[in-house]
Amino acid sequence: MTMISDVDHPEGGPRKPVLSLRGISKHFGAVSALTNVDLDVHAGEVVALVGDNGAGKSTLVKILAGVHQPSSGTIAFGGEPVVLSDPSTALGLGIATVFQDLALCENLDVVANIFLGRELNPMRLDEVSMELRAWTLLNELSARIPSVREPVASLSGGQRQTVAIARSLLTEPKLILLDEPTAALGVAQTAEVLDLVERVRARGLGVIMISHNMEDVRAVADRIVVLRLGRNNGEFEPDASNQDLVTAITGADENSVSRRANRRHAHQSPELGR
């Protein structure tokens, strides 16, 4: 597996980002979903994208996946300006996306799901080679899947997420976008998926992970980027204080959020966009 960063800079100069967004805006009619967003992501880096409901996270990921076109701004990928005109262009350039619904085919087995879509089997591998490739990929990810011939309908939430991530790695992307990979998972399955994210990072990929769960974000992210009302409202180290994060996400400081929560007799810590 080639590490992108080392190849880019054999003399050891400053690391170039694999992805650079400059001044990205997106309007849906009168709604400004994103305004002038700048963002860099490096190879081997996990960037957590956090923000309240409607902050623009999904819109940003959909622009990178080629689903939406930005209204203005530029995207550079691998140091070159790119136009992500549709999903297959984004995938072909090396940007893979795992959407929240995972887009798995319930009745098909793990191998068939990993190779779902003709563009993922360009070499027209036969069944045995496909099974071997799927096994190798899952082993590299230390995935806990009992059998690649299981229909995905019989797998746990964490295992299904694993299959979807393995499928996205088949095309050897340089950047992977994960849309709330731990949503609705229990403690053990969340830990399994976060381990998987670590292993994807270790392969030298850049990772953008949308999450509403600050514990997950702190566990795995190298950097936390906060979107608020469609703008980049600050970038934080994973050990940033809750107060700083809550302030950036909601615009209110944590104490005033807690006071409001107490008045409602809430027993949980402030919810961040959930």
Residue 211 CB, shortest distance to ligand ATP, in Å, is 10
Residue 273 interacts with ligand ATP (CB under 6 A): yes or no: yes
Residue with tokens 């992805």: 19
CB atoms near residue 223 (< 10 Å):
18
Strands of the chain, DSSP E: 19-28, 31-41, 46-50, 72-77, 80-81, 95-98, 175-179, 206-210, 223-228, 231-236
Region of 52-60, 81-89, 143-151, 152-160 interacting with ligand ATP (CB under 6 A) = 52-60
| Non-local CB neighbours of 6 within 8 Å, separated by 6+ positions | none
Residue 79 CB, shortest distance to ligand ATP, in Å, is 27
The CA distance from 175 to 169, in Å, is: 10
Residue 57 interacts with ligand ATP (CB under 6 A): yes or no: yes
Binder to ligand ATP among 18, 55, 152, 193 (CB under 6 A)?
Answer: 55
Torsion of CA 149, 154, 159, 163, to 10 degrees: 50
The CA distance from 119 to 159, in Å, is: 23
Binder to ligand ATP among 5, 42, 54, 238 (CB under 6 A)?
Answer: 54
Residue 28 interacts with ligand ATP (CB under 6 A): yes or no: yes
Binder to ligand ATP among 35, 58, 113, 250 (CB under 6 A)?
Answer: 58
Nearer Cβ to ligand ATP (55/214): 55
List of residues contacting ligand ATP (CB under 6 A): 28, 31, 33, 51, 53-59, 273
